């Protein structure tokens, strides 16, 4: 299952046990960021927590680094620390953004910044991978 993780606890409880592997797009690590995107930060964190608690599910997370939205070292520090509190072995994919569709005026994620944020995440997590490089 590839998902944004925005669903009710009831739906998550029905879906998660049916899955072998789940990849959740953790879009931004703040309630305000999710509000801007029309999502629910608490629902996503709850979904991730439920998925990691199921021993039959392989869980991975992906964060697309969008300039001006979720590209601070402080936000990555908070994200990686929270993920590590669940399980420091959860794989995190830190991926590069490229301008497309409704965000054509944005710049691609700077490669140096992407590496810096992956290094921040690696202080807490044992499996951090770069993507879209």
Could you read off the pLDDT of 61-115 as tens digits, one per residue? Answer: 999 999 999 999 999 999 999 999 999 999 999 999 998 887 777 889 999 999 9
Percent of the chain with pLDDT over 90: 91
Between the alpha carbon of residue 4 and those of residues 1, 39, 112, 119, the distances in Å are 10, 9, 26, 24
3-state helix, strand, coil in the chain (%, to 5): 45, 20, 40
* pLDDT band, very low/low/confident/very high, at 55 (cuts 50, 70, 90): very high
In degrees and rounded to multiples of 5, residue 122 shows phi and psi of -65, -15
Q: Report DSSP state, residue 124.
A: T
* pLDDT band, very low/low/confident/very high, at 125 (cuts 50, 70, 90): very high
E strand residue ranges, 12-127: 21-25, 58-65, 92-96
User: Is residue 37's pLDDT more than 80?
Assistant: yes
Q: In terms of pTM, does the model score above 0.85? A: yes
CA separation for the pair 7, 44 (Å, rounded): 7
């Amino acid at each position: 299952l590839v998902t944004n993780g925005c669903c009710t606890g009831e739906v998550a409880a029905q879906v998660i046990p049916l899955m072998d592997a789940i990849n959740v797009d953790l879009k931004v690590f703040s309630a305000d960021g999710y509000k801007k995107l029309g999502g629910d930060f608490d629902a996503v964190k709850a979904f991730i927590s439920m998925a990691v608690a199921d021993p039959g599910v392989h869980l991975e997370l992906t964060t697309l680094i969008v300039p001006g939205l979720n590209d601070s070292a402080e936000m990555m520090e908070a994200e990686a620390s929270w993920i590590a509190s669940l399980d420091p072995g959860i794989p995190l994919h830190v991926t590069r953004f490229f301008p497309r569709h409704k965000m054509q005026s944005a710049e691609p994620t700077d490669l140096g910044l992407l590496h810096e944020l992956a290094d921040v995440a690696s202080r807490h997590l044992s499996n951090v991978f770069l993507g879209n490089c």
